A and B are shown apart, each in its own frame.
Chain A
Amino acid sequence: MKRPIRDRWRIGLVGWLLALCCQYALAVDPLQFASEAEAQRHQQLSAELRCLVCQNQSLADSDAPLAQDLRREVLDLMRQGLNDQQIRDHLVARYSDFVLYRPPLNAATILLWFGPLLLLLLALALLYRAIRRQQQVTDGITDPDE
């Protein structure tokens, strides 16, 4: 039996939308991966590298021309047999630690890493002192009653 004309229209529309999505995906990243594993590793690496033009985006997210170039560079380096750390080092040597979303632990970033811990300790110390004082006050009130 022939499908009603409206159904065929719907199927056509869905197909057209799917085709549009595929085209968009291809337009964003023209890199050709040899395998699913390679694509996944590439995705993981570029997700933790910063796009330098649009600094609030990762390489994986950004559509900037430089981000495309660097994604291609990351793939080239992967195919040259470099491991993840070597690839990160390669980019850091050119673009500084700035290219990393996870900042390394060094003299310049020590406050960044341990600042929150220091603040937490300070807050705990203040809290402890406040509680102690509170206790002394209540002790002072209840003591004469006993």
Chain B
Amino acid sequence: MKRVLPIIIFIGLAALLTAGLINAPRKEIIPSPLIDKPLPDFTLRRLDQPSLEVARDDLLGQPFLLNVWASWCPGCRDEHQQITTIAASGLVPVYGLNYKDQRSDAQRWLIQFGDPYALTLTDPDGQVGIDLGVYGAPETFLIDHRGIIRYKYIGPLNARDWQQEVQPLVLQLLNEARS
């Protein structure tokens, strides 16, 4: 017993630490407490027509994706093709939230890489970003027809995660909206 005990403790500790390593979420991922909470209220100017304001409630009625992006964000360029593909599929509207950006830079970025967004809102000082718990771009929120945040994807969205994780949830929300 005396000889076996340290070995048992060692194996136990090793198993615990290994499980921690394997199961640990990516270091930079912070779980959002806003899941299943209402989309925070905001009124923001449109990127294309700064004189026009869009309020939170104007977006509701059907499920939609809210993609937080900026021209200064390399990850946003990485996911841009995927965002374009999703928007082109017509499954759900994709709205852009241009986060802490210069209007001219943002517009140039969309001209250069293409504009997949049904509508882009601007959050120049990042205030709505704080309310949304944004801590980096890109981030993508999935919001249901009643305005509840149902899912958040952090980082550049790739085809695999879209197909395996996000798209099924979008389909589910579309079903919920119909029933």
- A residues contacting B by CB (< 8 A) are 52-53, 55, 65-66, 69-70, 73, 92-96, 98
Contacts and interface: CB of A to CB of B under 8 A. Distances in A.
A146 to B, nearest CB: 29
A111 to B, nearest CB: 11
Contacts of A93: 33-34
Contact of A96 (B31, B125, B126, B132): B31
B133 interface: yes
Contacts of B34: 93-94
B68 to A, nearest CB: 12
Interface in B79-113: 100
Nearest to A68: B126
Given A65-B100, A66-B136, A95-B135, A52 B130 contact: no
Interface of B: 27-28, 30-34, 100, 125-126, 129-133, 135-136
Given A53-B136, A65-B100, A66-B136, A94 B131 contact: yes
Interface of A is mostly: helix
A69 to B, nearest CB: 5
A96 B134 CA distance: 11
A94 B37 CA distance: 10
Given A69-B126, A69-B130, A73-B130, A96 B135 contact: no
Given A52-B135, A96-B30, 7 more contacts: A53-B135, A66-B126, A69-B129, A94-B34, A94-B130, A94-B132, A96-B31
Nearest to A96: B33
23 contacts: A52-B30, A52-B135, A53-B135, A53-B136, A55-B27, A65-B100, A65-B126, A66-B135, A66-B136, A69-B126, A69-B130, A70-B130, A73-B130, A92-B33, A93-B34, A94-B33, A94-B133, A95-B135, A96-B30, A96-B31, A96-B33, A96-B133, A98-B31
Contacts of A69: 125-126, 129-130
Contacts of B126: 65-66, 69
A69 B136 CA distance: 12
Contacts of B132: 94
A97 to B, nearest CB: 8
Contacts of A70: 130
